[in-house]
Structure 1
Amino acid sequence: MITYYRDPDVLVTSTGVRMGGRAYRLGDFAQVWHTRGRRSWSAVAGRGALGIAMITPIVIGAVGILIALVIDASTAMTIALAGGGVLIGLAAAPLADVLLEFVDRSYDRGSRRLEIWARVRGTDVLLLTTDNAQRFGQIYRALQRALDHDSVPRSA
């Protein structure tokens, strides 16, 4: 028996599938397909907020440098404003690294509800529903590999 995917809720092997607390033999599946639900705008808005949070220190730093060059201030004040602007801009690098990690995770989770369906003995059955795009892809590919493996003619 070959195991294609395993986690606490899903098991896909060369002999069968266990999802949603139910077990199926690969031969039970007449057809398998997936659907994508509507986009979650809160996930998209969260990514936008992270993008703004990454850009804000750079904009503030640039404004500080611009003010330092435009206003008629003493040399010390001009250097202080420009230096402060540069330091604030440089603070964006470590902040961006942390925020980019959150952006990566948000894309792994996805912004849509994803479902795997199968036709089992003439009835459409929802096998899995998740918003984790990475996990969905792993499970769906594992299911495809298992079904492809099952359809290979075996020698007697």
Structure 2
Amino acid sequence: MVTYYRDRDVRVTSGGVRIGGHDYRLDDFAQVWHERGRRQWKAVAGRGALGLAMMTPLVVGALGVLVALVIDASVATTIALVGGSVLIGLAAAPLADVLLEFVDRSYDRGSRRLEIWADVRGARTMLVRTDDAQRFGQIYRALQRALDHHPVSR
């Protein structure tokens, strides 16, 4: 028996599917499809906030350099302001590295509720509902592979 996908709630094999405590034979599926829910603006706003957090040190550094050049201060004060502003701007690099990791994870999770549906013995049945786009894709592809490699015995 070939296992196409397995986690604590879902198991897709060449022998059948176990989802949410229910067992299905591959012959039980007449059709499998997916549906996407509405966009969750909380996830989109979170990505925007992360982008803003990455840009903030650059903007503050640029403003500091601009202020240092515009004000009428001594050379030592101007050099100190420019140096401090450049250091603040350089802080954007390590901060961006950390924040980009969070952005990547947010795209893995996705911004929509995803559902896998099937026509099981004539009844429309929701098999999986998740916000995790990566997990959804793995389960859906595993179902497709299992059904593609299953001999039709109808």
TM-score normalised by the shorter chain: which range applies?
Answer: over 0.9
* Aligned 1:4-153 pairs, distance under 5 A: 4-151=4-151
Q: CA deviation at 1:112?
A: 0.2
Contact 2:13 2:146 in 1 (8 A): yes
Structure 1 unaligned blocks of 5 or more: none
Code of the residue aligned with 1:42 in structure 2: it is K
Percent identity, please. Answer: 78
Structure 2 unaligned blocks of 5 or more: none
Partners in 2 of 1:20 and 1:130 — Cα distance?
A: 12
TM-score (norm: length of structure 2): 0.97
Code of the residue aligned with 2:121 in structure 1: it is R
Runs of 4 or more above 4 Å deviation: none
Partners in 1 of 2:44 and 2:33 — Cα distance?
A: 26
Count of residues in correspondence between the two structures: 153
Q: CA deviation at 1:141?
A: 0.3
Partners in 2 of 1:40 and 1:80 — Cα distance?
A: 45
SS of structure 2 residue aligned to 1:48: helix
SS of structure 2 residue aligned to 1:127: strand
TM-score (norm: length of structure 1): 0.96
Q: CA deviation at 1:151?
A: 3.5
CA gap of 1:65–1:49, structure 2 versus 1, over 3 A, is same
Code of the residue aligned with 1:88 in structure 2: it is I
SS of structure 2 residue aligned to 1:150: coil
CA gap of 1:122–1:152, structure 2 versus 1, over 3 A, is closer
Partners in 1 of 2:30 and 2:91 — Cα distance?
A: 57
CA RMSD in angstroms comes to 1.0
Q: CA deviation at 1:7?
A: 0.5
Partners in 2 of 1:2 and 1:96 — Cα distance?
A: 42
SS of structure 1 residue aligned to 2:12: strand
